[in-house]
Amino acid sequence: MSISNLLENWSQFRHTHPVEDKPHDPYKWAMSIDLDACSGCNACSVACYAENNLPVVGKEKYANGQVMHWIRIEHYWDEDVGEEGGREFPDQGAQFLPMMCQQCEAAPCETVCPVGATNHTPDGLNSQIYNRCIGSRYCSANCPYKVRYFNWYDYPSTENIWPAEMTQQLNPDVTVRGKGVMEKCTFCVQRLAAAKVTAKSEGRIVQDGEVQTACQQACPTSAISFGNLVDPESRVHKQWRAQQVELDKDKQAKDEKEGGTELRGYRILEDMRPYPSVMYLERVRESAI
Amino acid sequence: MMDSGFDRRDFLKVMGWSGAAVALSGCGNTSIEDGKETVVSYVEAADFVIPGIGVYYNSSCAQCDAGCSINGKVREGRVLKLEGNPASGINNGKMCGLGQAGVQHHYNPDRVREPLLRNGNQGEAISWEKAYALIAEKLDGVSGEEIAFLSGGVSGHLKVLLGNYLSSFGCKNHFVYEALSPGVVRAANKKAYGVEMPRYNINKAKVVLSFGADFLGAWVSPVHFSQQYAQFRNGADGQRGVLIQVEPKMTLTGANADRWVPIRPGTEGILALGIINALGTATGDIAAAVKNYDKVRVSKETGVPPGQIDKIAAILKLRSPSLVLAGGAAEGYAHGSQNAAAINLLNHVLGNVGKTIVAPVTVPFPQMAPAKGNTAALKSLNDGLAAGNFKVLFNYAANPVYTAPGAMKFKDNMAKAEFKVAFTHYLDETALQADLVLPLDSALEDWGTQVPEYMTEGAQINILQPLMENLHPNTRGMGEILLALIKQRRPEEYKNYEDYYAYLRAALVQNKNAFGGHSMDDDTFWNETLTKGIIKLAGTTTALNGGTNVSSLKLPTPAEQDEQFPLQLIPSVNISLRDGRNSNQPWLQESPDPLTTIVWDSWMEIHPKKAAELGIVEGDIVEVTSRVGSIKTQAYLFPGIHPDAISIPIGQGHEAMGRYAKGYGVNPFKIIDTVFDRETGELAMHETRVKVSKTGQRVIIVKDESAAGAKQVREKIAGRVSTDNVDLSKEV
C-alpha cells in the first residue's frame, strides 16, 4: 500500500461499516458477551490456545509481558476495596471481562500499519496477514484494547514450547507464526472460512449456530454468542437490537437516558470511535442483599 | 513446517507418496525401497480418514472425576482438539480449561515410555513379559493381607476387573484415595438426605446460599453446575437467582456472588444455626437446638454483622425454593461433619429437600458404580505401611507422596513395603519411590468405561475409546495390564479375552438389552455405542429419606487467639491445578488463577489490613510456618480473604513429574497438620494454624493483572447494574 494510494483513497480505507452506500453483505461477524453469565473460569482462553496454536511462553517471558493469550480474562474490583477508608472486603465479588480483539470497524491499528499487513475484510473482520507483517508493532501501540501480541521469539524452535510430541497437536488449519510477526484473535477465521465454503457450495449463506468460535464453544455458561450481525435470524443480531446497540454509532440509546435504563448492552471505549464488533452486557447485582 | 524433531518418514506418511521418489533420492536413502513398510498410501486409507478433513470421535474426559463427554477432533490420525459432546447431560457440549488440556496430557513429552525396574537410583527399561513375570514372582508366597492396592477413584469395568484381580489372591486392601474429596459432605448428606450425593437443582433455586462450595470452579461437577448457574441467573420464572457465598477465602464462585460474606474460618455451622434462628420458622427439636444462636452471639463468633444475618434470613424467607450447599471450606475441620450437618439442616428448615435437592439416579449395575475416594483411606494405608503390614504395594492414579500431609511421612512408610509397583503416566513423586514403574496409555489412547458419581436426570455410562494410535509403542492401558495380571491367577476364566478391548466389548454386548440394544445385533449395538460415546440408562432412583436429628449437633465455640500461630492456613483449590495431577500441562500453568491472575508459581494470599500489620507488601517472600514445617513463597495482598486467615493454593511445588511441573512454587500439603474430622476420619484440611514472617527478599509477581492492578476506570470498561433496573427473563 503506497502512501499516495493511501492518501488518494483515504475515505475508502476508513470506511466504517455498515453505511448506506456499502453495507455488509452477506456477512458481518460480531459477538456479544454476557458479563452476568461469565464466571471468569478461563475455559475460553485455554480453548483458544488449543484451536489457534498459541505458544505457552513460560514464566520468564510471561514476566516480560510476552504472553500470547488472544483472549484473556480481565479482572476489575471495586475501587474502594482494601483502600484506606474504603470497604474492607470485595463483598460484591469481582468483575470478569473476557477481552479479545474487538474487530473494530474503524480499527486504529489498521491505519498505522506501514505495510498494510492488517486491514479489513468484507465480512467485517480485522485481519492480520502474517507474511506481510514486518514487525513494526505500531498497530499494537495504537490498539486501545491491548489485544495484539507480538512474536518476540521464534517459538517453534524455542526449547520446551513445542517439544516434538506436542507439535502433533498443532492445528493444521492455522499457521504457526514465526519470529517478528504480530498476531491476534481472528474470530477463528479458519472455522468461518470452512463454514462459508460449505454454505456457498450449497448455494446459501451460513446459518446461525452453524459456526462457533472456539471460545464460544467451550464457555460453560454460554456467555459468548457469535454470529452474523446482518442476518436478522441470528442470536447476535437479536441481542444487539434488543439492547439498541448500533454498530456505526458512538453513542447508544443506553447513554442517552439519564439515571439508568433496562438496557445492559455497551461497547468498550466506544467514544473513541473504533466501532468495535463486540457488545458486552453489563453484570447484574442483586439490590436486596 | 517446524524444524523440531519431526520424523521424515512420518512426514511422508502424512503427505502421501506422490513425488516422494524424487524427494528421496540423494537424501541418504540408498534405495527407493527403504522404509517402504512405513509408507501407507491414501489409496488404501483407513476408515473415515480424508486428508485435510477432521473426523470427530466421542469419548470421555479423564482430567477429573466429573465424567464429561468429549468429542475429539482427529486429523490424519492425530487428535488435535477436544470439544464437549452435546449429547451428554453432564456437560452438554461444554468444556472447562482443564478438560481442554487433556491433549497436553496425551502429547506430554515427559510420559513414561517403557516399563522401568529399579536398579539403585536408576530405572532400567525392561520388557512387559519380564514385568508381569516379576509381579507374579513377588506375589508368590505373599498372603492377601500383605498386599495393598492404592488407587484414585475408579468406576466401570476397570473397577470390576480390579476387584476380581484383588480377590484372586484374597486381598481386601483396596484403598481408594482422593486428595480433594467431599468426603465429609458425603457422610453428612447421607444422614440428612439418605444419599451421599443428591442431585442439586441450582437452576430451579431462587437463592443459592453456599458455604464454601466452589461449584463454578472445582466442586463436584463444575461444568454442569456452570450451565445450571447460567439458567439460575436468567431466572426460572422471571426472577434472577441470587447467589450468596459464605467463606473465609474467596473462591471463583465467591467472586461471582451477589454478596460475598467473609466468615471466621470454621464457624460456618454456627452461622447456619444463626440463620435458622433468625428465620424463626423452625419448631420442636430444631427450634430448641438453635435457640441459643441469637444474632448477637452468632455475629460475635462468626464475625458476620447482625444486619447481614437478618438480610440473608429475609431473602431466604421471601424467595423459595432456595438451595444451601456445604462445600470444601465448611468441611475441612475437626468438627467438619457438624458444620455440614448444621448447613444441611437449613435445607430441611427451608423446605428445599425434594425441590432443589432431589433424589439421584444410579446405574443399575452396582459393581460398576464409582469407588469414591476419600482421605481417610490414606490414613489407614499409611498406618498399615508404618506398621509394616504390607509387603507389596500397588499404586494407580494417586500420588500420595506429593499429596499426603508431610507429618504422615508417607514416603518413609512406603519404603517399608518390599515391592512397590506404580502404574503411571509420568514419573511423579510416588512413581519415583516405586520398584517397578509400568507406563500407561493416555486417556486418549485407552479403552474403558466410566460411571460418574454425579449424574443428571438420567443415568449414564461413559465410553472411553482411543482417539488415536498409541503415541509410544510400549505403553499399555490399565485395563490391559489388569487383564494380563488376572490371567496369571485365573487363566481359565479369562482365556477368551484376547485383550481388554475384547473383554469390554463382550461385557457390554452381553448386557445389550439392559443398554437399550434389544433390537440390534451385536455389531450394530457395539458400533452405535462407540459412535455415541455414552450409554444412557433409565437408572434407578434412590428416594431421599434422611432426617433432621439434631441431638448430636454440637458446634464448638471458636478457639481463643493462638499467640504462637495466629493465622489459619487455607490450602485453596485452584480451578485448573486441583490436586496437582495436571500441573505438568503447560496450558494450565499459563492459565492465570481466576482471582489473582498469578501464573507458573505459588503465592500466599493475605488481607491488606493484616499485611500492613505485619509490614508485608506484594512480592515479599514470606516464610509460612506451622507446627509441622515451613514453606517460603511470595505474598499477594488480596482483600477477598478473612484477616485471620492466609491461603496458599494446592497443585504446585512438584519435585518431579517433568519439565512443566517440577520446581514451580511450593506444596502446602507439606505443612498441613494431621487433624481429622471426628466423625468420618477425613483429613481436616483447614485446621492448620500458621505464623508468617518476612525473609527480607522481594520479587515481582508474575501475573496477568497489570501494574495498575484492576483499579483503572472500571466503571467505563466493566459495567454493573442493579437488579432494580433490569429484567433478564425478557432479554434475548
**What confidence tens digit (pLDDT) does each residue in A130-142 have?**
999 999 999 999 9
- Residue A218 has its nearest CB partner, among B94, B103, B253, at B94
Q: Which three cell numbers stand for residue A74?
A: 480481565
> Where exactly does CATH 2.40.40.20 map onto chain B?
567-701
B74 CA: distance to closest CA in chain A (Å): 10
- Give the pLDDT band (50/70/90) at residue B731: confident
Q: Rounded to an integer, what distance in angstroms lies between the CA atom of residue B350 and that of residue A46?
A: 40
Give the residue-averaged pLDDT of B518-546: 90
Q: Which of A252, A236, A278 is closest to A107 using CA atoms? A: A278
- Of the candidates B5, B702, B710, the beta carbon closest to that of A164 is on B5
- One-letter amino acid of A242: A
Mean pLDDT score across all residues of chain B: 91
Q: A29 — phi, psi (to 5°)?
A: -75, 135
Q: How confident is the model at residue B628 (pLDDT cuts 50, 70, 90)?
A: very high
Q: What angle do CA B701, B702, B706 make, to 5 degrees?
A: 90
**B8-24 mean pLDDT:** 40
Q: Return the pLDDT at B559.
A: 81
pLDDT in tens, B708-723: 444 554 556 777 788 8
Q: Supply the pLDDT for residue B85.
A: 96
Q: How far is A150 from chain B (nearest CA, A)?
A: 16
**H/E element holding B504?**
helix B500-510
Is A151 within 8 Å of A179 (Cβ atoms)? yes
Mean pLDDT on A97-122 = 92
CA B268 – CA B146 distance, rounded (Å): 42
Q: Output the pLDDT for position B12.
A: 40
Residue B127 has pLDDT above 90, yes or no: yes
The second-level CATH assignment, the architecture, of B116-179+375-439 is 3-Layer(aba) Sandwich (3.40)
The boundaries of every CATH 3.40.228.10 domain in chain B are 183-361
pLDDT for residue B702: 95
Task: Collect all residues of chain A within an 8 Å Cβ-Cβ radius of residue B663.
Answer: none
Asked whether the predicted pLDDT for residue B9 surpasses 90, the reply is: no
Assess if CATH 3.40.228.10 describes domain B183-361: yes
Between the CA of residue B240 and those of A53, A285, B309, B346, B653, what are the distances in Å?
A: 39, 10, 21, 22, 41
Q: Residues A147-158: what's their mean pLDDT?
A: 95
Tell me, what's the pLDDT at B439? 98
Residue B725 to residue A162, Cβ atoms within 8 A:
no
Confidence of residue B8 (pLDDT cuts 50, 70, 90): very low
Model confidence at B45, in pLDDT bands (50, 70, 90)? low
The DSSP symbol for A275 reads: -
**pLDDT band at B26, cuts 50/70/90?**
very low
| CB interface of A with B, residues 204-223, below 8 Å | 214, 217-223
- For A108-140, give one letter per residue: b (16+ CB within 10 A) or e: bbbbebeeebbbbeebbbbbbeeeebeeeeebb
CB contact (8 A) between residue A167 and residue B4: yes
Cα of B81 to nearest chain A Cα, Å: 6
Asked if residue B11 has pLDDT above 50, the reply is no
Q: Which residue of A has its CA nearest to B719?
A: A282
- In B425-533, at which residue ranges do the beta strands (DSSP E only) sit? 436-439, 448-450, 459-464
Residue with cell 496458599: B648
The reply to whether A89 touches chain B by the CB within 8 Å rule is yes
Asked if residues B108 and B96 have their Cβ atoms less than 8 Å apart, the reply is no
Check CB contact under 8 Å for B592 and A42.
yes
Other beta carbons within 10 angstroms of residue B634's beta carbon come to: 22
CATH of B8-110+443-475+489-541, one of 3.30.200.210, 3.40.190.10, 3.50.50.60, 3.20.20.150: 3.30.200.210
Interface probe with A: pick from B91, B587, B589, most Cβ of A within 10 Å: B587
Residue entry with cell 475441620: B333
Bridge partners, A119 (sequence order): A127
First to last CA, chain A: 58
- Per the model's pLDDT, the better-predicted residue between A154 and A250 turns out to be A154
Contacts of A59 in chain B (CB under 8 A): 599-601, 664, 702
Structural domains for chain A: 24-288 (3.30.70.20)
Residue pair B449/B464 in contact (Cβ under 8 Å)? The answer is yes
CA distance A197 to A279: 27
Q: Does residue B17 carry a pLDDT above 50?
A: no
pLDDT, residue B118, reads 96
Fold of B567-701: Barwin-like endoglucanases (2.40.40)
ipTM of the complex: 0.93
- Which segments of chain B belong to CATH 3.30.200.210? 8-110+443-475+489-541
Residues 373-432 of B with CB under 8 A from A: none
Contacts of A228 by beta carbon, 8 Å cutoff, 6+ apart: A26, A27, A28, A29, A30, A205, A206, A208, A234, A236, A237
Q: Does B382 score more than 70 pLDDT?
A: yes
Residue of chain A whose Cα is closest to the Cα of B609: A82
Pick the more confident residue, B51 or B89. Answer: B89
List the 436-475 stretch of B: residues with Cβ below 8 A of A: 471
Peptide bond into B439 cis (omega under 30): no
The answer to whether B335 touches B556, Cβ cutoff 8 Å, is yes
| Residue (of A141, A111, A135, A104) closest to A30 by Cα position | A104
Q: B145: burial class by Cβ within 10 Å (0-12, 13-18, 19+)?
A: middle
Per-residue confidence (pLDDT) for residue B70, from 0 to 100: 97
- Per-residue pLDDT reduced to its tens digit, A70-94: 999 998 888 777 677 788 999 988 8
B719:A282 CB<8 A: yes
If we measure between CA atoms, which residue out of A128, A136, A163, A152 comes closest to residue A52? A128
Whole-number percent of chain A with pLDDT over 70: 93
Amino acid identity of residue B243, one-letter, is: L
Q: Which of residues 35-64 of B touch A (CB under 8 A)?
A: 52
- Cα B120 versus chain centre, distance: 34
CA dihedral B60, B65, B67, B68 (to 10 degrees): -80
Going by the DSSP 8-state scheme, the letter that residue A76 receives in this structure is: E
- C-alpha R_g of chain B: 27
Percentage of chain B lying above the pLDDT 70 cut: 92
How many other CB atoms sit within 10 Å of the CB of residue B282? 22
Lowest mean pLDDT among A258-272, B149-163, B202-216: A258-272
Distance between CA B57 and CA B465 in Å, rounded?
8
Q: Tell me if chain B has a CB within 8 Å of the CB of A72.
A: yes
Paired sense of beta strands B116-119 and B122-125, if any: antiparallel
Question: In this structure, what C-alpha cell is assigned to residue A154?
Answer: 521464534
Q: Which residue of A has its CA nearest to B601?
A: A59
How many CB atoms are located within 10 Å of the residue B470 CB? 14
B342-354 average pLDDT score: 95
- Mean pLDDT score, B186-210: 95
Average the pLDDT over each of A104-108, B84-88, B113-117, B428-432 and give the range with the smallest value: A104-108
Interchain pair B705, A75: CB under 8 A? yes
- List CB contacts (< 8 A) between A242 and chain B: 731-732
Give the 3-state secondary structure percentages of chain A, helix then strand then coil, rounded to 5: 25, 15, 60
B contacts of A286 (beta carbons < 8 Å): 240, 242, 258-259, 722-723
Q: Taking CB atoms and an 8 Å limit, are A284 and B728 in contact across chains?
A: yes
Grid coordinates representing B349 are: 428448615
Instruction: Point out the least confidently predicted range of B100-104, B238-242, B395-399.
Output: B238-242
Average pLDDT over residues B462-487: 96
Q: Which pLDDT score, from 0 to 100, does residue A288 have?
A: 84
Nearest-CA neighbor of B688 among B668, B715, B716?
A: B668
Of B4, B254, B589, the CB nearest to A156: B4
What's CA A201's distance to the chain center, in Å? 28
Query: What's the confidence (pLDDT) of residue A259?
Result: 61
Helices (H), A113-188: 138-142, 164-167
With an 8 Å Cβ cutoff, are B587 and A50 in contact?
yes
The packing angle between helices B478-489 and B500-510, to 10°, is 90
Q: pLDDT tens digit string along B266-294? A: 999 999 999 999 999 998 999 999 999 99
Predicted local distance difference test score (pLDDT) of residue B19: 36
pLDDT at A22: 64
B33 touches chain A (CB under 8 A): no
Share of chain A above pLDDT 90, in %: 70
